[in-house]
Amino acid sequence: QPEVMRAAEKDDSYAAHVTEACRDAFRHLFGTRVAVAYQNEIKLLGQSLYYLLTTGSGQQTLGEEYCDISQV
């Protein structure tokens, strides 16, 4: 199961990048004060977006692809 753990770590890393991009976009559009007020929602949005674009569309996540794991 080390591959599963490694895939999960990679997915967390990529999801964090998407979350950071969402946070930057939200801060640019609405300002820092509003972005701080909605930081939990932005984090949820970023993680949901990552998994929606990968698993939700029937593709492997980037972590699964990196570790060559197939979903069943």
- The pTM (predicted TM-score) of the whole model is 0.82
d(CA 51, CA 34): 25
| Helix-, strand-, coil-residue percentages of the chain, each rounded to 5 | 80, 0, 20
Which parts of the chain are beta strand (E)? none
Per-residue pLDDT of the chain (72 residues; tens, 9 = 90+): 788 889 889 999 999 999 999 999 999 999 999 999 999 999 999 999 999 998 888 888 888 888 888 776
The CA distance from 31 to 62, in Å, is 31
